[in-house]
Amino acid sequence: MAPVAVRRRLRVRCWKYYRPTAWPLCHSTPITTTCLILALKDRESINFDLPEALDLALFSRHLECLRRGGPVECPDYISLPIVDGQLAEEIESRPLIVVEGFCLRDSRTARSL
């Protein structure tokens, strides 16, 4: 059984907020958001370091909702085929929220949370 601190922790990853519409910023091949299946070699070639490639406004809204104790529908643009723009994973809030991703330095709203 995991320690209580581990079970109560929520890890939120910035890369899940990568916007398919920002694909040209990160990759030379244009794509559409209605049908996206990325091969492993393509996923490795995406530059997630560009703040413009992340939907930081949505990320900030989700982080605020989690902070208040509510659930969010976290987008998953990268790992699965996309239908109607995105797939989502429901995430429940936890007492401790760990945020991964150094692009947060470019989001004043997210940093203030």
Range of the domain at 65: 15-93
Flag whether 36 is in a domain.
yes
Is the CB of residue 72 less than 8 Å from the CB of residue 65? yes
pLDDT in tens, 9-51: 666 666 566 665 554 444 444 443 333 445 555 555 656 566 6
Mean pLDDT over the full length of the chain: 64
Flag whether 63 is in a domain.
yes
Least confident of 6-10, 46-50, 53-57, 99-103: 6-10
Most confident range (mean pLDDT) of 22-31, 37-46, 55-64, 76-85 is: 55-64
Q: How many domains, in total, are found in the chain? A: 1
Flag whether 35 is in a domain.
yes
Proportion of the chain above pLDDT 90, given as a percent? 0
Lookup result for tokens 């470019």: 106
pLDDT reported for residue 2: 44
DSSP lists the bridge partners of residue 98 as: 11
Flag whether 20 is in a domain.
yes
Flag whether 66 is in a domain.
yes
Is the CB of residue 11 less than 8 Å from the CB of residue 101? no
Flag whether 9 is in a domain.
no
